[in-house]
Amino acid sequence: MLEARAATLVKRSIKATAKRAGIDLAIACMDLTTLEGKDTPAKVRGLCARGIAPAPGVPSVAAICVYPNLVETAAAALAQSAVKVASVATAFPSGLSPLETKLRETVDAVAAGADEIDMVIDRGLFLAGRYGEVYDEIVAVRDACGRATLKVILEVGELGSYEAIRRACDIALAAGADFVKTATGKLPISSTPAIALVMCEAIRDYARQTGRDVGLKLAGGIRSTKSALGYLALVNETLGPAWLSPDRFRIGASSLLDDLLMQRDKDATGNYSAAVYVASA
Amino acid sequence: MTPAALDFGYAPALESTASVALRERYGLFIGGEWVASADGRTFATVNPATEETLAHVASASAADVDRAVRAARRGYEKYWRKLRPAERAKYVYRIARVLSERAREFAVLETLDGGKPIRESRDFDIPQATAHFFYHAGWADKLSWAVNGPDRTRPLGVVGAIVPFNFPLLIAAWKIAPALACGNTVVLKPAETTPLTALAFADVCAEADLPPGIVNVVTGDGTTGAALVEHPDLNKISFTGSTEVGKSILRATAGTPKRVALELGGKSAFVVYDDAPLDQAIEGIVSAIYFNAGHVCCAGSRLLVQESIAEEVVERLRARLATIRHGDPLDKNTDIGAINSRAQRDRIAELVQSGVDDGATLAQVPWTPPERGYWYPASFFTNVQPTYRIAREEIFGPVLSIMTFRTPDEAIERANNLPYGLAAGVWTSSGSLALYTAQRLAAGVVWCNTFNQFDPSSPFGGYKESGFGREGGLAGLRAYLDT
């Protein structure tokens, strides 16, 4: 039923005014991301410029997401804008370093100007059944973040079942995550509609029990407007319209913005433009 | 620039009706030709979402039914029984191909004529109907593997198929596909309120080059159906519909050599134990009772929930129903469309009123229906006692009766304590409890941690007053052979 329900939700037909609103919403909720070994300051500055003003009349993205070494560059480039700097941390993507190292990395990233920290949970601990330690680690990173927003990456593709994803999600929520996030984007399995639905259900139940609203970030594999709009519908009908805001919903993506802009043009002009008409970073 | 106003409703997303070319008038399809009814009588078929007349359809009298059965007999003797099974398979396969090529048109037609959401006709009815033809095409030349030995693969002869309004093409396919694959010919009588896909199916048969008389379509009301049932030259009646009509068919065929298969009403139980995955169970409930607006013979219309989680389940169901989308059946985002007919809407309203009068608590999704058309909002009852009519009678609408139980045996006892026995659902995280319960439920189908799953290879049918005979799978196939 989970997969069937998720499939129904992402197949909602989003047309006309709803499509226009959805495209701008997806852009405004985007963590425009570059997480490659070959990232350079120049690349990041380009990405920041694009994030602030993707195209004339288009809203800014929510954040630019980079590796810790590039936080300073991003912070400088985004200083005059409302776009946040997000940094991955805690030995991204594996999370297999000593806790002290992870905490130090987090503190340094925040000091360098990161507004948001995307941490990974230690899947080794989780799969070994050491849930208390997973929880303690998240609490410690939460403390190290200070005022920075904490997003907790579950890396769903390594957890093995919907039940495990739900359990990891519940741990992250209880430990104080501001966002729970699906994946690092480094694995073939990252965000699927059913996985997003499991996490939405966890967030909804947690909000009902505690009154604290936690955000959802989907990352990995969302490349088309159609898929992004489908996820908006899924969040809309599971968590409600209050979650359709950058405060509570993010899409982490690198190439999705191109298609959103092209679909936005198509909606305005009737023509789907060639990629060369969309300025990339 | 600041973020745009984040208002995200769904704009109307209407399926185009351009694929459908409705004729003003439809005749009867007899012996491969379109003919008027002998007495020239017709009736109107309306779109239940707008009350507009879609077309005028011939009303078949006993004389017309006789012509159709004669044509089917001729087709059987002259062509179909003589055909090599492998050739028969090709025809059935061709029907499947043509149907899938015209899937969009059939989906729109089903939605226009019956009021069901396009999402369902597009994603369920038509693909399932097509799947039945593909599946049975494969059986046509392998029948000796379905029965004990090759000399038991004789067809029955002429089959009368009478189908209801809730899944018009799909249930017709349940009957026609195995009938043809086994070498029988067919006279199809669709429901009075939903004749259009059956008539379009006649076109498909013509397009597939089926010889004359193999499939015949006679339209009309209950008297047409009765004439078919009573025709002396029929070898089998396969009926899906109400228990009341099913009983009259049994009376009418008693003492005759006609074979009878009946798939009748239901009041299926949906059992939720306290260890069930609740979000899944809620989706199961929604599918069980609100799929096709509850116009489903196997609808899980009695929710039996363990007392310790009853409040939680009701609260979650209430929250989930707030997101149900009622409206235009042609809108791709509609979850619940129109009620099939005024009579059906009135029957639902009457039974709901009886529940209120009996003392049950009614919850309905607040929704203002359009002025025209037949509508009923998603509803459920709490504080239902097993003696109430809403706990015992088939409502055939989007209305759920919620009751509680304390122990597995009590759940089973309550589930079985009705003359119906079509389907049931069991929700639990415990495999052994699921099996314990399923083994003891007197229902033709028991779904565990899911609901409304169908496949041509899986038999479907009921116990007790829900009928007898199976459709689909080996059991469904053998029912069209003279074994």
Q: What is the spatial distance between Cα B67 and Cα B257, in angstroms, rounded to a whole number? A: 21
By C-alpha distance, which of A51, A8, A47, A22 is closest to A263?
Answer: A22
Cβ–Cβ under 8 Å, residues B127 and B119: no
Whether the predicted pLDDT of B4 surpasses 60: no
Q: Which two tokens mark B286?
A: 């929604």
Sorted by sequence, the CB contacts under 8 Å of residue A6 that are 6+ apart come out as A192, A193, A194, A196, A197, A234
Q: What is the mean pLDDT of residues A170-175?
A: 98
pLDDT digits (tens, 9 = 90+) for B127-179: 999 999 999 999 999 999 998 776 788 999 999 999 999 999 999 999 999 99
Catalytic residue among A19, A102, A151, A181: A181
Catalytic residue among A31, A118, A178, A258: A118
Q: Which two tokens mark B340?
A: 């099939």
**Predicted local confidence at residue A272, as pLDDT:** 86
Q: What is the spatial distance between Cα A180 and Cα A134, in angstroms, rounded to a whole number? A: 14
**Predicted local confidence at residue B1, as pLDDT:** 37
**Predicted local confidence at residue B5, as pLDDT:** 44
Q: What is the spatial distance between Cα B315 and Cα A205, in angstroms, rounded to a whole number? A: 12
Assess whether A43 carries a catalytic annotation.
no
Sheet holding B269-272, edge to edge: B361-364, B379-382, B399-405, B302-306, B269-272, B423-427, B445-448
3-state secondary structure of B402: strand
**Predicted local confidence at residue B152, as pLDDT:** 80
By C-alpha distance, which of B477, B468, B479, B483 is closest to B249?
Answer: B468
Q: Does B19 touch chain A (CB under 8 A)?
A: no
Q: Which two tokens mark A109?
A: 């990233």
A24:B4 CB<8 A: yes
pLDDT tier at B7, thresholds 50, 70, 90 = low
Phi–psi pair at A30, nearest 5 degrees: -90, 135
Chain A residues whose CB is inside 8 A of the B279 CB are 2, 201
**Predicted local confidence at residue A273, as pLDDT:** 82
CB atoms within 10 A of CB B84: 10
A5:B283 CB<8 A: yes
B11:A5 CB<8 A: no
Whether the predicted pLDDT of B6 surpasses 80: no
B284:A245 CB<8 A: no
Whether the predicted pLDDT of B15 surpasses 90: yes
B119:A8 CB<8 A: yes
Q: Does B449 touch chain A (CB under 8 A)?
A: yes
Q: What is the spatial distance between Cα B268 and Cα B288, in angstroms, rounded to a whole number? A: 9
Q: What is the mean pLDDT of residues B415-419?
A: 97
Residue-wise DSSP of A150-168:
EEEE--GGGT-SHHHHHHH
Chain B: closest CA distance from residue A184 (Å): 26
Q: Does A82 touch chain B (CB under 8 A)?
A: yes
3-state secondary structure of B442: coil
Which residue did the predictor score with more confidence, A144 or B8? Answer: A144
pLDDT digits (tens, 9 = 90+) for A41-75: 999 999 999 999 999 999 999 999 999 999 999 99
A59:B6 CB<8 A: no
Average pLDDT across chain A, whole number:
96
Phi–psi pair at A217, nearest 5 degrees: -120, 125
Whether the predicted pLDDT of A281 surpasses 70: no
pLDDT digits (tens, 9 = 90+) for B183-204: 999 999 999 999 999 999 999 9
- Closest Cβ opposite residue B8 in set A16, A22, A82: A22
pLDDT digits (tens, 9 = 90+) for B52-66: 999 999 999 999 999
Cα B415 to the center of its chain, rounded Å: 22
| Mutation choice for A interface testing from B8, B16, B275, B278 by most A CBs within 10 A | B8
CA dist B315 to A157, B356, B419, B450, Å? 32, 20, 31, 20
By C-alpha distance, which of B262, B257, B263 is closest to B231?
Answer: B257
CA dist A228 to A16, A85, A250, B3, Å? 16, 22, 11, 17
Domain boundaries, chain A: 2-266
Assess whether B263 carries a catalytic annotation.
yes
Helix crossing, A162-174 with A193-210: angle to 10°? 40
pTM (2 decimals)?
0.92
| ipTM of the complex as predicted | 0.86
Q: DSSP class of residue B331?
A: B
Q: Does A267 touch chain B (CB under 8 A)?
A: no
pLDDT tier at B483, thresholds 50, 70, 90 = confident
Q: Does A170 touch chain B (CB under 8 A)?
A: no
Sorted by sequence, the CB contacts under 8 Å of residue B208 that are 6+ apart come out as B91, B94, B95, B97, B98
Phi–psi pair at B419, nearest 5 degrees: -70, -10
Q: What is the mean pLDDT of residues A259-265?
A: 94
Q: CATH for A2-266, among 3.40.50.2300, 3.20.20.70, 3.30.230.70, 3.20.10.10?
A: 3.20.20.70
pLDDT tier at B459, thresholds 50, 70, 90 = very high
Where would I find the H helices in B384-458?
389-392, 408-416, 431-440
pLDDT tier at B9, thresholds 50, 70, 90 = confident
Whether the predicted pLDDT of A279 surpasses 90: no
Whether the predicted pLDDT of B2 surpasses 50: no
Chain A residues whose CB is inside 8 A of the B449 CB are 1
Phi–psi pair at B229, nearest 5 degrees: -60, -40
CA R_g for chain B? 23
